[in-house]
Structure 1
Amino acid sequence: MGLEIVVKDIQEGASAEVSRIKAEGDAKASEIINEAKEVQKKTLGDSLAKAEEDLQNLHQQVISSANLEVKRITLNKRKDLLDKVYVQTVEKIKSMPASKKEELLKNILSKYEASGARVYSSKDSEDIVKKLTSLSYAGNLDAIGGIVLENEDGTVRLDFTYDSILKNVYERSLKQISDLLYG
């Protein structure tokens, strides 16, 4: 009977050890499962946050691109309009009555005649300019109107042609459009 007691003690000890190991295994498995669930939640949360951030960035990028495109189209339309106004203005200047041309030339000459020794004008304005000034008439220009004054040695030329004035106004307007578009 002594052997049976020893066997029984060994079996009970082994059974207790198995129960303890099983309990530890269950606890460890439960801990691993909980950690995996936490990692899964965190990963899912991070992925969701990243997806939301990417979506927000894409949304902002699309809006910015659309706004830029609208601005580009608008400014191109403005440039087209400026081009049309430029052409119409040239035509208006060309068809201006002689009395108005004379009045404008008289104003320019009265302000700037002292700055020059010679004067140039378009062929159409030659007679009017010769009548309005005592400066030496130096010749014709390819211009829609206005004058160019030149000093005695030809080193300084003051350009008061309507072409030049109109071009300056046009370029300033284009610069403003460019600043709006790219500035």
Structure 2
Amino acid sequence: MSLEHVVDDIKDEARARAEEIRAEAEDDAEAIIAEAEADAEEIKEERAAEVEAQIDQEREQAVSSANLEAKQQRLEARRDVLADVREDVEAALAELSGDRRESLTQSLIDEAATEFDDDATVSVYGRSDDQELIEEILTEYDGFSFAGDRDCLGGVVVESETSRVRVNNTFDSVLDTVWDENLKELSAHLFEQ
């Protein structure tokens, strides 16, 4: 064998070995690329799931916030309606006249009178527009006299210094009591759903 032959054999072996190494390197590179692509796909899917979860959470928060705001607006609208109804009732009470006003005022004075002794000196206060009416009704009561004006819708405030009793029988106080006792029922009636 000649030296040339030996050199050619070594070259052939070296080429074959180089080819093997290159084939192994390509296989390794393909495996690394496949693993990287799989990792990238997994990371992409995880990120997509995280983004979807965040979108769902933000959507729920937005819906919850919108529902709360809508509920607050409904409550505010209901308060406004109730305030309007209250104003209308107060206006109707202030405008009462004639026999109806006289009858209610008489009843309120009668009720208040039961709180005082027969010999008590009793001061009665009322709306300035009702002074004449109150004075006329008080002619039926011994020791009762009109003592001055009260800023109210009608009715009377009756008091006696001797017994330290004060009875607030104004239309305002009666309305407050009736309003508080019936507010739930009134709301249910006005805002039936």
TMscore range, shorter length: 0.7 to 0.9
- 2:91 aligned counterpart, secondary structure: helix
Q: Is the aligned partner of 1:168 residue 2:176?
A: yes
CA change 1:6–1:36 in 2 (3 A) is same
Structure showing the higher helix proportion among its residues:
1
Aligned-residue offset at 1:56? 2.4
Give 1:17's aligned residue. 21
Aligned-residue offset at 1:42? 1.4
* Aligned residue-pair number: 172
- 1:30 aligned counterpart, secondary structure: helix
Deviations 1:89-119 (A, max 9, x none): 222267636455434422321x211295432
Give 2:190's aligned residue. none
Cα RMSD after superposing both structures:
3.0
Q: Is the aligned partner of 1:159 residue 2:167?
A: yes
User: With structure 2 as the length reference, what TM-score do the two structures score?
Assistant: 0.73
One-letter code aligned to 1:113: F
Runs of 4+ in 1 over 3 A off after TM superposition: 97-104, 166-173
Q: Alignment identity in percent?
A: 9
Structure 1: which 5+ residue stretches go unaligned? 177-183
Structure 2: which 5+ residue stretches go unaligned? 185-193
Give 1:135's aligned residue. 143
Deviations 1:162-181 (A, max 9, x none): 245246337747x97xxxxx
CA change 1:67–1:94 in 2 (3 A) is farther
Give 1:61's aligned residue. 65
User: With structure 1 as the length reference, what TM-score do the two structures score?
Assistant: 0.76
Give 1:150's aligned residue. 160
